Amino acid sequence: MTGETPMRRNRCAKILATLGPATSTEGTLEALIRAGADIVRLNFSHGSFEDHRRRYDLVRSVERKLNRPIGVLMDLQGPKLRVGSFVGGKIKLETGNHFQLDMDPELGTLERVRLPHPEIFRAVSVGTDLLLDDGRLRLRVESIAENVLITRVIVGGVLSDKKGLNVPNAVLPISALTEKDRRDLVFGLDLGVDWVALSFVQRPEDVEEARTLIGGRAGIISKLEKPSAIEHLNEIIDLSDAIMVARGDLGVEVPPERVPILQKRVLQACQQAGKPVVVATQMLESMVQAPTPTRAEASDVATAIYDGADAVMLSAETAVGQFPVEAVAIMDKIIQQVENDDYYQRLRDNRRETPEGTAADAIAAAASQVAQTIGAAVIVAYTSSGSTPLRVARQRPSVPILCLTARQRIARRMAIVWGIHSTVVGRDISSFSEMVEMATDRVLTEGFADIGERIVVTAGVPFGTSGTTNTLRIAWVEGKDGPWAE
């Protein structure tokens, strides 16, 4: 990469910003990154391939200018369950009345509407609740015939054309990947995205299917938005590279009072597994139209950081909002305030995970402890696959983590992980002395240490072999005579 001196964040948690009409020029995108965005999201529920390609190219242009690896996440739409259209465009469902869902293609009336999803008829049973229009309306199934559901309106209201439908207490026999998703996935992987966010995950098999199609070309973020996914939480975490708490859809399918509890449960499970976790949806929602957030929204962001989130996400705030750069800037300020709080630091130290019985975890835990004991300025993790900095980040060290890699795609992927600042080096290394020399040179260049300070260096030997974190060195950053290792 070429360009100006790399930017360094003064925080550990990352910011994921969604691109859209409000952030589709190079100037705005550059301002977004300078304000604090670490990774950007392309939402494939909206826009054309041409739109996404143009935004991707803008990201890479800004990346070269700022000399900072920027991750790109493609968010697949997933299956969208919707009712059909109505005569006149809408009806009003009265609480207590019966209402029929069927496969008849005729326009809907006050008595019935088309439901073009045969899987739902097979998956529900008498007593199942169906939610319409993001949970604003509720129907309860009273009888089932072939491709016909007779329901009673539990919560009524206006229902218009093609509104969404949720079935919170049923596992639907459909893939998380639609034909549209498969086409989008081919396009996104060829484009070079770093992460793929998988929607509508119900069971571990959904992640396995995506992993087969992706073939290691990008990391997989499983979006937890279905109650059935929570039931298989640990299995889905194991199969995923990262997790997203998609609170919007999750909040439709579970009672709202359960969402904060599930959020904390997911964050804890991800930290134990050493998998990055993103908290998403409506974090600064009022900033779509206002230049400042509500106090409740600021508290929501802060809570996610106190709970240990790797990243927090902005959706409409930066995609279509009137104040996209301001939204990123205030989120950056909130994170910095929290991470400078003594209470946060005590939580971070108390939350530090017990190392697993592997050489990689032993080295990662030792690096964190040694850095704190000797007052090191930074932990340098050299990696070819990303596994070394990930294991170090799991320990939530009290000093920054500088990731050195010869692979640009790994540097970009690490942009979502807590505490990691990535930089691309020009070559692979082959010896301890070369590793220490490169580390001390980069910590000076990137502003992580001064001459006379000590650093902790970790890597895997043989160099270039994935998942072999087994080496730790302490180096003193010297001036004239170069570094020496202890």
Q: What angle do CA 291, 59, 41 make, to 5 degrees?
A: 60
How many C-beta neighbours within 10 Å does residue 346 have?
Answer: 10
The whole-angstrom distance between residue 363's C-alpha and the CA centroid of its chain comes to 27
Residue 71, beta-bridge partner list: 39
Query: What single-letter DSSP state applies at residue 446?
Result: T
Residues with a known catalytic role: 41, 82, 223, 281
- H-run or E-run covering 229: helix 227-231
CA distance 419 to 313: 16
Question: Which of 335, 337, 319, 331 shows the shortest CA–CA distance to 284?
Answer: 331
Alpha carbon distances (Å) from 90 to 101, 103, 133: 15, 18, 12
Q: Are 32 and 17 in contact (CB under 8 A)?
A: yes
- H-run or E-run covering 357: none
Q: What angle do CA 309, 169, 252 make, to 5 degrees?
A: 50
The rounded radius of gyration (Å) of the Cα atoms in the chain is: 24
CA distance 405 to 324: 31
CA distance 261 to 6: 38
Residue 422, beta-bridge partner list: 403
Question: Which of 313, 249, 251, 244 shows the shortest CA–CA distance to 284?
Answer: 313
